[in-house]
């Protein structure tokens, strides 16, 4: 479940957010408590009065973003279970284009960082980054700039196929996106229906819409297409076909 705390202490080593500006609301989504704590401390360095909300799972993340439509920044773990690589970033940017999203990750390869930025991230913070630099990154993004690790080498754009998948994924409704995520874990229609407390007929209707929007012929193909936005697309394992799928 999302949790909330008001950060009211912290030593300034950077210029703070302007005092005449409304104190921002910062969202943190990461399944590792220790890194959430590290991010809390980094926020406190520049925004001691900021409102901070946290989510430790994908479901909690989506509920939190819906509950905080006026949030100023989301810090999102690239590898949080259920986030599906860049899929959640693309989905959230489509639903909440006003919300800057900064990806955080233990993956630091330039290609991983570049893909996040290409898919709409306002910044990318490696988890090895020290607290002072995290503070600098947050300040830059809150000022409307983009931030990436210093010295990031130049790289080409993402492939056209990946960009097209992102466009198609952005067309999914929140419930369709959730069904697709659950499908990627190998769950059958009846299992997804039970988890979402809806009928199997409803799930089948969602599946029909998902296949149409992604341009897929079956469940396996849908997962492989969406898997183009995984951090490591070649590692995506498609589910088997559901015998109950109409």
Tell me the pLDDT tens digit for each residue of 192-239: 999 999 999 999 999 999 999 999 999 999 999 999 999 998 888 776
Judge whether residue 42 has pLDDT over 80: yes
Longest dimension (CA), the chain: 60
Specify the higher pLDDT residue, 189 or 47: 189
pLDDT at 241: 61
> How open is the CA angle 49-55-61, to the nearest 5 degrees?
115
Mean pLDDT calculated for residue range 125-137: 90
Provide the mean pLDDT of the chain: 86
Q: How far is CA 233 from the centre of its chain?
A: 17
Please, which pLDDT band fits residue 4 given cuts at 50, 70 and 90? very low
Judge whether residue 159 has pLDDT over 70: yes
Strands 123-126 and 3-6, bridge-based pairing:
unpaired
Percent of the chain with pLDDT over 70: 87
**What pTM was estimated for this model as a whole?**
0.85
């Amino acid at each position: 479940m999302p949790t909330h705390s008001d950060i009211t202490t912290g030593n300034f080593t950077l210029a703070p957010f302007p005092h005449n500006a409304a104190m921002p609301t910062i969202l943190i989504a990461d399944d590792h408590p220790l890194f959430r704590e590290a991010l809390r401390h980094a926020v406190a360095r520049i925004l001691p009065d900021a409102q901070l909300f946290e989510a430790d799972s994908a479901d909690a993340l989506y509920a939190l973003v819906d509950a905080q439509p006026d949030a100023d920044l989301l810090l999102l773990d690239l590898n949080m279970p259920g986030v599906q690589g860049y899929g959640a970033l693309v989905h959230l940017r489509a639903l909440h284009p006003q919300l800057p999203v900064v990806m955080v990750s233990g993956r630091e390869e330039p290609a991983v960082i570049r893909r996040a930025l290409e898919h709409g991230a306002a910044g990318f913070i490696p988890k090895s980054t020290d607290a002072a630099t995290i503070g600098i990154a947050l300040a830059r993004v809150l000022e409307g700039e983009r931030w990436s690790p210093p010295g990031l080498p130049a790289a080409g754009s993402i492939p056209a196929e990946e960009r097209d998948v992102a466009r198609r994924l952005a067309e999914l409704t929140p419930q369709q996106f959730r069904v697709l995520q659950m499908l990627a874990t190998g769950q059958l229609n009846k299992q997804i229906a039970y988890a979402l407390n809806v009928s199997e007929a409803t799930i089948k209707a969602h599946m029909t819409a998902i296949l149409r929007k992604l341009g897929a012929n079956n469940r396996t193909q849908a997962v492989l297409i969406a898997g183009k936005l995984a951090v490591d697309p070649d590692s995506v394992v498609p589910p088997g076909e559901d015998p109950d799928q109409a």
